[in-house]
């Protein structure tokens, strides 16, 4: 059996090196999870080695090298994806439509790979050298079937032991390890608990069975002896039809979703309810809009809106797997996107009767949406139609995409005459001028270069700011046009960013920010602005996120909506808001939870672990409810249809 054990040793050490390297770079190596990962690695390499040793020495060596290369490459890609996009990746992201989207960023992605990540290939290099210089050490020895059976049984026993370790879950972790092992939807936590190789295996199994939805939300009835006070602000919703629908439902997941949504609180109305009733709304998602882009001299119109409107200075834009497309999805639906796939692609055909477009449509508005690029990244034409909007992209607007990102100013000049002619309009605008890369000049940076060339910062930051100027010019044109047409007082403009500027040295952003962007989860702090020419300026510090945009606007415009359908909250209500990150981390006004470290920071010293466990349960249920909602196409079965 020496032949088997020699190959087992080299394969095990090589793979364990990759696992430890990944853990050192990404997490704390000194924890119980390392023990579990060691057993997982031993089981996996034992199984591979047993299979490999059925072949002659040369083939066995080649297979060993291939396995180390593939898992070294996979780990390198995970580290690089995290560094580039802010999240780890899942195999499900390689589904239909998403490969083309990802392939367009390959050159920029490769250029961003850090040198230390290439250490993932060090075991392969050492193994090749060992095979060349120690040929006699790997003398072929044919094992009997009895020995192979003994090895196989030993691997099975070790595998059972490794699975038993899943019964141990760190305190306060969002999901139990047994649940996470079955459905590794919290990718960062899964990688931390299981290691890159075992996570890959579980991710592959989950990918194959991606449509299965057998997770039931445990709904706890809250004991409340107090009689709820009915006031003028109480929001009355009749659940008679909903209860009847639920009672007649046979699908256990759909029925459970009915129960879950019905159990959520009905947010009361407040003094801000209907403040903008019957006014027009222009909701703008700005590509890579960061607080660093707000400058009194460079972007005076954007700055003006922060000073004369409502500026939310504690607003987060969590980055899900397809960033821009899913920030957009969150704002339009207030549903948590899938962590393991690109939601706008995978669930493009779903029913979205609860979308913000449909809420405005029901109130007599004309809903339209616009983007200065084509549908190659996301199938917006189809998706927005299913959400209740008519979508116009670069093809239907007549823009050429051959010369680089479309000018936001040209986009606004093109679309304003289209939507402003409607009596009551809700227009959703997706900009693109500020898109990376910031490593070379394009038409926009050349156009605005004179305004940034003398700034005391790096060239890439100057390019970013030059692009921000172009967006600011589009805002200036919009405000001037609304005022000229007498529509400014009757129009509300809401602005949010999809994510911070990728492929830009974060030190530059930190230098231009008024908070430490490296602290806590501040990387994803973004601007959110609501402006109307008649409003009283405010700076609002309540914790907020993209999830809260829909319910907040629905309340401000006094739309007919049920707050229970949404993962976010009306920011002007008394209810607690929770910023939910794809890792399982979260932020509230009272605490911050770091899922990757399974650690937390209390802002309110009177609170303790009970509060963390309470919010973790809420967040875990929201993940499950959103995942089941998407997989089951829940709103096709709701009373909204």
135 and 283 belong to one structural domain = no
Please state the domain count of the chain.
Answer: 2
- Say if 574 falls within a structural domain: no
Question: 49 versus 389: which is more confidently predicted?
Answer: 389
Write the CA distances from 440 to 404, 409, 443, 447, 498, integer angstroms.
Answer: 12, 21, 10, 13, 22
Q: Which two tokens stand for residue 61?
A: 């060596």
> Nearest Cα to 209, choosing from 173, 175, 185?
185
pLDDT class of 569 with cuts at 50, 70, 90: very high
Q: What is the pLDDT of residue 98?
A: 53
- Say if 60 falls within a structural domain: yes
Q: What is the pLDDT of residue 94?
A: 66
Q: From CA 394, how far away is CA 344, in angstroms rounded?
A: 19
CATH of the domain at 352: 3.40.720.10
Write the CA distances from 260 to 2, 350, 479, 627, integer angstroms.
Answer: 58, 20, 43, 13
Q: What is the pLDDT of residue 226?
A: 46
Which of 569, 589, 623 terminates a domain? The answer is: 569
Does the pLDDT of residue 223 top 50, yes or no?
no
| H/E element, 328 | helix 324-333
Q: From CA 119, how far away is CA 100, in angstroms rounded?
A: 29
Q: From CA 210, how far away is CA 632, in angstroms rounded?
A: 12
Q: What is the pLDDT of residue 140?
A: 58
Q: From CA 342, how far away is CA 383, in angstroms rounded?
A: 13
Reduce the DSSP state of residue 191 to 3 states and report it: helix
322 and 201 belong to one structural domain = no
Q: What is the pLDDT of residue 146?
A: 84
Does the pLDDT of residue 262 top 80, yes or no?
yes
Identify the bridge partners of residue 495 per DSSP, sorted by sequence position. 284, 529
User: Is 37:198 a contact under the CB 8 Å cutoff?
Assistant: yes
The mean pLDDT of 226-237, rounded to a whole number, is: 77
The mean pLDDT of 229-240, rounded to a whole number, is: 87
- Say if 576 falls within a structural domain: no
DSSP 92: G
Kindly report, residue by residue over 271-301, the tens digit of the pLDDT: 999 999 999 999 999 999 999 999 999 999 9
201 and 277 belong to one structural domain = no
- Say if 482 falls within a structural domain: yes
304 and 414 belong to one structural domain = yes
Q: What is the pLDDT of residue 484?
A: 98
Write the CA distances from 472 to 304, 327, 477, integer angstroms.
Answer: 10, 21, 9
396 and 465 belong to one structural domain = yes
200 and 95 belong to one structural domain = yes
pLDDT class of 99 with cuts at 50, 70, 90: low
Q: Which two tokens stand for residue 145?
A: 């079937």
- Say if 591 falls within a structural domain: no
> Nearest Cα to 72, choosing from 117, 38, 111, 109?
117
* Ramachandran category for residue 540: left, alpha or beta (phi over 0 → left; psi -120 to 50 → alpha): beta
Which alpha helices (DSSP H) does 453-502 contain, by range?
A: 459-484
Reduce the DSSP state of residue 120 to 3 states and report it: helix
- Say if 158 falls within a structural domain: yes
Residue labelled with tokens 């650690």: 599
Residues 6+ apart with CB under 8 A from 368: 389, 390, 391, 392, 418, 419, 422, 425, 426, 427, 428
198 and 270 belong to one structural domain = no
Kindly report, residue by residue over 587-603, the tens digit of the pLDDT: 999 999 999 889 999 99
Residue labelled with tokens 């059976």: 149
Which of 569, 592, 621 terminates a domain? The answer is: 569
Which alpha helices (DSSP H) does 334-458 contain, by range?
A: 343-346, 356-362, 380-387, 394-397, 408-419, 443-448
Kindly report, residue by residue over 100-113, the tens digit of the pLDDT: 556 666 777 888 89
Q: What is the pLDDT of residue 106?
A: 76
Kindly report, residue by residue over 111-160, the tens digit of the pLDDT: 889 999 999 999 999 999 988 887 666 565 666 778 788 889 999 999 99
Kindly report, residue by residue over 329-381, the tens digit of the pLDDT: 999 999 999 988 889 999 999 999 999 999 999 999 999 999 999 998 899 99
Q: What is the pLDDT of residue 224?
A: 39
Q: From CA 284, how far away is CA 397, in angstroms rounded?
A: 17
11 and 151 belong to one structural domain = yes
> Nearest Cα to 416, choosing from 474, 373, 366?
474
**Quick count: other Cβ atoms within 10 Å of Cβ 130?**
15
Counting every residue written for the chain, the total comes to: 641
Backbone phi, psi, residue 425, to 5°: -130, 145
Q: What is the pLDDT of residue 522?
A: 96
Integer-rounded Cα radius of gyration of the chain: 27
Q: Which two tokens stand for residue 573?
A: 């209500």
Reduce the DSSP state of residue 602 to 3 states and report it: strand
Q: From CA 619, how far away is CA 567, in angstroms rounded?
A: 9
151 and 282 belong to one structural domain = no
Q: Which two tokens stand for residue 51?
A: 């299979």
DSSP 501: -
Q: Which two tokens stand for residue 638?
A: 């709701």
Kindly report, residue by residue over 508-561, the tens digit of the pLDDT: 999 999 899 999 999 999 999 999 999 999 999 999 999 999 999 999 999 999
> Nearest Cα to 354, choosing from 554, 571, 497?
554
> Nearest Cα to 373, choosing from 430, 323, 318?
430
Does the pLDDT of residue 225 top 60, yes or no?
no
pLDDT class of 68 with cuts at 50, 70, 90: very high
DSSP string, 248-311: T---HHHHHHHHHHHHS--PPP-TTTTTTTT-EEEEEEETT--GGG--TTTSHHHHHHHHHSEE
199 and 278 belong to one structural domain = no
DSSP 167: G
Q: From CA 371, how far away is CA 391, in angstroms rounded?
A: 8
Q: Which domain holds residue 527?
A: 266-569
Backbone phi, psi, residue 75, to 5°: -65, -40
Q: What is the rounded average pLDDT for all residues in the chain?
A: 91
Q: What percent of the chain shows pLDDT beyond 70? A: 94
Identify the bridge partners of residue 531 per DSSP, sorted by sequence position. 493
Tell me: cis bond preceding 437? Omega within 30 of 0 counts. yes
Reduce the DSSP state of residue 9 to 3 states and report it: helix
204 and 278 belong to one structural domain = no
Backbone phi, psi, residue 517, to 5°: -75, -10
Which of 569, 591, 614 terminates a domain? The answer is: 569
Q: Is 440 exposed, middle or buried (0-12, 13-18, 19+ CB in 10 A)?
A: exposed
Question: 4 versus 227: which is more confidently predicted?
Answer: 4
- Say if 577 falls within a structural domain: no
201 and 306 belong to one structural domain = no
């Amino acid at each position: 059996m020496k032949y088997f054990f020699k190959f087992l040793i080299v394969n095990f050490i090589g793979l364990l090196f990759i696992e430890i390297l990944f853990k050192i770079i990404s997490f704390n190596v000194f924890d119980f999870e390392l023990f579990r990962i060691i057993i997982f690695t031993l089981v996996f390499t034992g199984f591979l080695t047993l299979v490999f040793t059925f072949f002659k020495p040369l083939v066995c060596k080649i297979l060993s090298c291939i396995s180390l290369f593939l898992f070294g490459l996979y780990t390198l890609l995970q580290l690089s994806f995290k560094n580039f996009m802010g999240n780890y990746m899942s195999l499900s992201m390689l589904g239909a439509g998403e490969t083309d989207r990802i392939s367009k960023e390959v050159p920029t992605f490769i250029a961003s790979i850090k040198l230390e990540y290439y250490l993932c290939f060090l075991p392969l290099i050492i193994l090749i050298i060992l095979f060349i210089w120690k040929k006699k050490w790997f003398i072929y020895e044919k094992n009997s079937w009895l020995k192979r059976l003994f090895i196989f049984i030993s691997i099975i026993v070790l595998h059972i032991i490794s699975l038993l370790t899943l019964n141990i879950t760190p305190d306060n972790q969002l999901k139990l390890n047994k649940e996470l092992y079955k459905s590794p939807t919290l990718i960062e936590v899964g990688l931390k608990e299981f290691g890159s190789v075992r996570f890959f295996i579980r991710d592959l199994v989950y990918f194959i069975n991606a449509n299965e939805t057998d997770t039931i939300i445990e709904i706890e009835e809250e004991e409340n002896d107090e009689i709820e006070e009915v006031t003028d602000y109480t929001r009355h919703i009749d659940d008679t039809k909903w209860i009847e629908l639920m009672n007649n439902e046979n699908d256990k997941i759909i029925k459970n979703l009915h129960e879950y949504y019905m159990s959520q609180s009905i947010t009361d109305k407040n003094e801000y309810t209907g403040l903008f009733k019957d006014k027009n709304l222009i909701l703008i998602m700005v590509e890579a809009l960061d607080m660093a882009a707000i400058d009194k001299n460079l972007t005076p119109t954007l700055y003006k809106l922060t000073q004369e409107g409502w500026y939310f200075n504690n607003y987060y834009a969590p980055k899900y797997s397809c960033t821009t497309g899913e920030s957009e999805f969150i704002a339009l639906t207030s549903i948590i996107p899938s962590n393991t796939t690109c939601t706008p692609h995978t669930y493009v055909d779903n029913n979205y009767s609860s979308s913000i477009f449909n809420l405005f449509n029901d109130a007599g508005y004309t809903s339209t949406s616009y983007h200065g690029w084509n549908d190659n990244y996301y199938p917006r034409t189809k998706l927005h139609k299913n959400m209740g909007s008519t979508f116009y992209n670069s093809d239907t607007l007549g823009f050429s995409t051959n010369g680089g990102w479309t000018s936001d100013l040209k986009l606004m000049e093109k679309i304003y005459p289209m939507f402003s002619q409607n009596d009551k309009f809700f227009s959703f605008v997706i900009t693109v001028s500020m898109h990376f890369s910031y490593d070379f000049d394009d038409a926009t940076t050349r156009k605005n270069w004179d305004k940034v060339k003398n700034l005391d910062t790096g060239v890439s930051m100057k390019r970013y700011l030059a692009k921000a100027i172009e967006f600011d010019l589009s805002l200036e044109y919009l405000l001037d046009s609304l005022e000229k047409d007498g529509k400014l007082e009757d129009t509300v403009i809401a602005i949010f960013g999809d994510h911070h500027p990728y492929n830009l040295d974060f030190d530059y952003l930190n230098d231009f920010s008024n908070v430490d962007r490296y602290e806590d989860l501040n990387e994803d702090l973004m601007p959110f602005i609501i402006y109307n020419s008649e409003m009283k300026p405010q700076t609002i510090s309540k914790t907020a996120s993209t999830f809260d945009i829909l319910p907040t606007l629905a309340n401000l415009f006094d739309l007919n909506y049920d707050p229970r359908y949404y993962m976010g909250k009306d920011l002007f209500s008394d209810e607690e808001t929770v910023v939910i990150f794809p890792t399982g981390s979260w932020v509230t006004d009272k605490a911050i939870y770091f899922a990757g470290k399974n650690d937390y920071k209390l802002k309110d010293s009177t609170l303790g672990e009970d509060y963390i466990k309470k919010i973790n349960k809420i967040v875990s249920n929201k993940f499950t409810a959103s995942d089941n909602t998407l997989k089951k196409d829940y709103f096709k079965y709701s009373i909204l249809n």
